[in-house]
Amino acid sequence: MSRGYHAYQKGLAVSVLKVVLVLVAIWIAIGIVGFVIKGLFWLFVIACVLFGFTLAGSRISRSPTRR
């Protein structure tokens, strides 16, 4: 086998390694974004529930029977 073939194989291995590392970096980034969005979703749900309790509490305290 020629020297050029071995250099080609080494270059190919480095290229494949770069592609794999880029894909792993993208996978990690998407995982972090998904975790943040899911966390924000649950924060939104909790805020809506607390808003509902606040709204219900304010209507109860303003009812005409509790003067």
**Residue 37, token pair as written in the block:** 């969005």
The stretch 1-24 carries a mean pLDDT of: 76
Task: Evaluate if residue 66 carries a pLDDT over 60.
Answer: no
C-beta separation of 60 from 66 below 8 A: yes
Q: Can you tell me the distance from the alpha carbon of 66 to that of 44, in angstroms, rounded to the nearest whole number?
A: 32
Q: What is the pLDDT of residue 24?
A: 93
For residue range 15-57, what is the model confidence (pLDDT) as tens digits? 888 989 999 999 999 999 999 999 999 899 999 999 999 988 8
pLDDT at residue 22, as a whole number: 93
Q: Is residue 60 pLDDT above 90, yes or no? A: no
For CA atoms 33, 35, 39, 45, the dihedral sign is positive
- C-alpha distances (whole Å) from 59 to each of 17, 35, 65 are 63, 36, 11
